Structure 1
Amino acid sequence: MTSYYTLVASLPPLPQPFDSGPLPITRSTLRSRLDLLDDDDRMVVDQISRFFVWDRQPLDRTDEEVWQTHQRLMEQIDNPLVRQVVNHRFDMRTIVAAIRRKRDQEGPPIGVPPLAGMIRRNWDAPDFNLSTRYRWIGPFAEAAAAGKVVQAQHILFTDLWNTWTRIAQQYHFTFESILLYLARWEIVERWTSRDADAGRERFNDLIRETLGEYAELD
């Protein structure tokens, strides 16, 4: 697709911040807009969409399963931005798993290098000496330890939202801007599912997906 202007211009603004408004476009409508993309671009969109589906799965996978999934994705994905999105989420999963395992007096997770190695070397530090880079670690750990699971999930979503928004400022009417719209739309979709009474159980599922055993603290 030589020009993305028409598609980008057709996408309604997302709420700023992500928790300040309703979902501006449904999944089905968004999917129909993405039909404007050519085959190569749709393949990349499918890759990031499939990853989002996987990322919604519970955190109680084994370290080996997570590591193998990351290896497979890195072999399949060529787009640099999609690789960045995937790696960021794997880093977040690794840190959340480390916080949980430390609480349970277990050893550090295998995780994905190089972050997993840094965690192992700094296992005795409360924040694994990572708070300078990942400022959400302290607030997340406090919220999770206090049983405030919705607040803990909000902290994770806020980090993701701010990261993708910051990167999106570098792109205008490009394929990258579409990918970053999808990444942020997914956050809004997951968060707003908590608002409707009919979606209450679905939101409880999302809490479990994001926080694993921490979801049982409330």
Structure 2
Amino acid sequence: TKVIVGNNKLAIIIRENVNARDFGITLELDYFDAIQRLSEEGDIYERERKLDKFRWDWLEQNTTLDYFNIEYIFAYLCKLQILERWVSLNAEEGERVFRELISGLKDGIEMPDES
């Protein structure tokens, strides 16, 4: 418990549950179980692909339709970093994901009424 830095809520929960498999944070982070399952994937390529998919989906769910707020812009930058990484690993798959992103952006844009 001496190596847990900080006194925020999460650090306190971890210190109090140091012997628990999930350190007591399952109730605090609703997505903890999903991440834990992903981390147990034996195939490194699949694990990385699934973790990036999880990140992508989380960003999609947690950004609003306001295309010019800072959260949306940061989420977009994170998605571009994910794409850039996968393009360097596999050109065909990266291009497919890139085209899906562009298609999703085109489909998701809603123009406000000018009345």
TM tier, smaller: 0.5 to 0.7
156-165 or 107-116, which deviates more: 107-116
For 2:57 and 2:65, the matched residues in 1 are separated by 15
Check 1:161–1:180 CA distance in 2 against 1; reply closer, same or farther (3 A cut). Answer: same
**Does the CA contact (< 8 Å) of 1:136 and 1:155 recur in 2?**
no
For 2:38 and 2:23, the matched residues in 1 are separated by 14
Please list every run of 5 or more consecutive structure 2 residues that lacks an aligned counterpart in the other structure: 92-115
For 1:162 and 1:156, the matched residues in 2 are separated by 10
Give the SS at the match of 1:124.
Answer: coil
The residue aligned with 2:77 is 182
- Once the two structures are TM-superposed, the CA of residue 111 in structure 1 deviates from its matched residue by 4.8
**What root-mean-square deviation, in Å, do the aligned CA atoms of Structure 1 and Structure 2 show?**
2.7
2:47 alignment partner, one of 122, 146, 152: 152
Please state if 1:138 is matched with 2:32. Answer: no
- Once the two structures are TM-superposed, the CA of residue 165 in structure 1 deviates from its matched residue by 0.7
Size of the aligned set, in residue pairs, is 86
The residue aligned with 1:55 is none
Give the SS at the match of 1:123.
Answer: coil
For 1:123 and 1:154, the matched residues in 2 are separated by 30
- Once the two structures are TM-superposed, the CA of residue 109 in structure 1 deviates from its matched residue by 4.8
Write the mapping of 1:1-218 to structure 2, written as runs, cut at 5 A: 109-111=3-5, 113-132=8-27, 133=30, 134-143=32-41, 146=42, 148-168=43-63, 170-176=64-70, 177-196=72-91
Give the SS at the match of 2:66.
Answer: coil
Give the letter for the 2:68 counterpart: T
- Once the two structures are TM-superposed, the CA of residue 171 in structure 1 deviates from its matched residue by 3.0
- Once the two structures are TM-superposed, the CA of residue 154 in structure 1 deviates from its matched residue by 2.8
The residue aligned with 1:19 is none
The residue aligned with 2:110 is none
Check 1:109–1:163 CA distance in 2 against 1; reply closer, same or farther (3 A cut). Answer: farther
For 1:120 and 1:167, the matched residues in 2 are separated by 29
Greater length-normalized contact order (CA 8 Å, ≥ 6 residues apart)? 1
- Once the two structures are TM-superposed, the CA of residue 181 in structure 1 deviates from its matched residue by 1.1
152-161 or 109-118, which deviates more: 109-118
**Does the CA contact (< 8 Å) of 1:157 and 1:187 recur in 2?**
yes
**Does the CA contact (< 8 Å) of 2:14 and 2:23 recur in 1?**
yes
TM-score norm. by structure 1 comes to: 0.33
Please list every run of 5 or more consecutive structure 1 residues that lacks an aligned counterpart in the other structure: 1-106, 197-218
Check 1:155–1:121 CA distance in 2 against 1; reply closer, same or farther (3 A cut). Answer: farther
TM-score norm. by structure 2 comes to: 0.55
- Once the two structures are TM-superposed, the CA of residue 120 in structure 1 deviates from its matched residue by 2.4
**Does the CA contact (< 8 Å) of 2:26 and 2:33 recur in 1?**
yes
